[in-house]
Amino acid sequence: MDKLAINGGTPVRNEFIIYGSPDIGEDEIKEVVDCLRTGWLSTGPKVVRFENDIKTYTGAAHAVATSSCTAALHLSLILSGIGKGDEVITTPMTFGATVNVIEHVGAVPVLADITAGAFTIDPDDIEARITPRTKAIIPVHFAGNSCDMDAINRIAEKHGLTVIEDAAHALGTKYKNRIIGDGENLTCFSFYVTKNVATGEGGMITTNQNDLASKIRVYGLHGMDHGAWQRYTKTDTIHYGIVYPGYKYNMQDLNAAIGIHQLKRLESFIVKKRQLAGMYYDLLGNEESLILPARFPEGDGNRNSWHLFPVMIKPETLKASREEIMRAIIEENVGVATHYRAIFDQPYYIDKYAFNPEDYPNADFISKRVFSIPLQTRMTEQDLMDVVTAIRKVLSHYKK
């Protein structure tokens, strides 16, 4: 067997492949150059265009662009009136931002377990954790798979709760023939650099609620009653009014310029990622130390948008920890990343809330075993074969 790179052997490939990286084309580049030439760098016509494109794509009545999904989630909580002492139920299997924003508004995060298959929040466990102080639920669509939104919306309606969807992983995801982000719920997307539509940094809130959409726009730009787009035009009034001590959460035209063209390519990105995922199922399906992500039938109107390809190790078959396996794969020049170490295992949340991992058996199981392997649209078949070879090489080295 070849010596592992981590032990001084030759890596499987010379060039490091990152688990997720943007696929930027000439159109994106030209549109950014256009911003530079016109001088519209910050919020302006390209943000308006990108918002309109997202409205058309999702079918939502409103789309408000933000500087990030974190900003979108924060604004959504504020405008839903969530504050001190309120409880917000969310999943432990998420990026820190989802829970950090609950802290930012002074509310209390309450974690509910996830389902073993889709890694998404378990509606039954949500219901079990509702108290008189519960005000909202933040379901997180995971890795491109939708949460069970019918069940979650039903629970929310029954108990009078707000639902804010964290759709950072889910632009293009479909649930029962509906695209995520097409409804009443405030739905927050991310265009961070690893996402299916990447603008560098960026986010978007979609909703069909008219009153909330216009408030989000004002609260997200200093609380000014005139947006930047109007302020610098000839027809605008000379003064603006501060109607709320708002935030600086607006998207720049520089980012929207990229997003406009990324969005046009999203459907082809999803097709390519589905093909790559299919190859992983074929090539890694028989690895006895790996559990591949559950495959859901897509025929009944559900669609995975394949943001990530999370695999799990079977520790009982291996002489090394998940971290040692990941380190060894990285040394073979294949980038892997953890999505996620559960929130109940993060230092701040352990100190503040002392969550007990045993209360979340599925999340605890997954959190200890999971890592994501490269899934990006610029990958060639050879890149994918290298990933597979590196994983096989490392797993067979550490096999018990």
Smallest gap from Cβ 303 to ligand PLP, in A, equals: 18
Q: Which of residues 182-201 bind ligand PLP (CB under 6 A)?
A: 190, 192
Which listed residue (44, 183, 203, 374) binds ligand PLP by CB under 6 A?
A: 203
68 binds ligand PLP (CB under 6 A): yes
Which listed residue (28, 148, 165, 166) binds ligand PLP by CB under 6 A?
A: 166
DSSP string, 213-276: HHHHHHHTBTTBSS-HHHHTSTTS-S---B-S---B-PPPHHHHHHHHHHHHHHHHHHHHHHHH
Which listed residue (19, 40, 57, 95) binds ligand PLP by CB under 6 A?
A: 95
Spot the catalytic one: 46, 84, 176, 195.
195
Contact 147, 98 (CB under 8 A): no
Helix (H) or strand (E) holding 45: helix 45-58
Pick 168 or 320: Cβ nearer ligand PLP = 168
Pick 122 or 386: Cβ nearer ligand PLP = 122
Site stretch for ligand PLP (CB under 6 A), options 52-60, 93-101, 315-323, 360-368: 93-101
Pick 197 or 388: Cβ nearer ligand PLP = 197
| 195 counts as catalytic | yes
Site stretch for ligand PLP (CB under 6 A), options 81-89, 92-100, 209-217, 242-250: 92-100
Contact 261, 25 (CB under 8 A): yes
Cα radius of gyration rounded to whole Å, the chain:
22
Size of the site for ligand PLP (CB under 6 A): 14
Q: How many CB atoms lie within 10 A of CB 86?
A: 19
Distances (CA, A) of 102 to 85, 110, 123, 156, 274: 10, 10, 20, 18, 33
Q: Left, alpha or beta for 106 (phi > 0: left; psi -120 to 50: alpha)?
A: left
Which listed residue (12, 60, 69, 149) binds ligand PLP by CB under 6 A?
A: 69
Q: Give me the torsion for CA of 59, 64, 70, 75, rounded to 10°.
A: -110
70 binds ligand PLP (CB under 6 A): yes
Question: Which residues are part of the catalytic machinery?
Answer: 195
Chain residues binding ligand PLP by CB under 6 A are 68-70, 94-95, 97-98, 140, 166, 168-169, 190, 192, 203
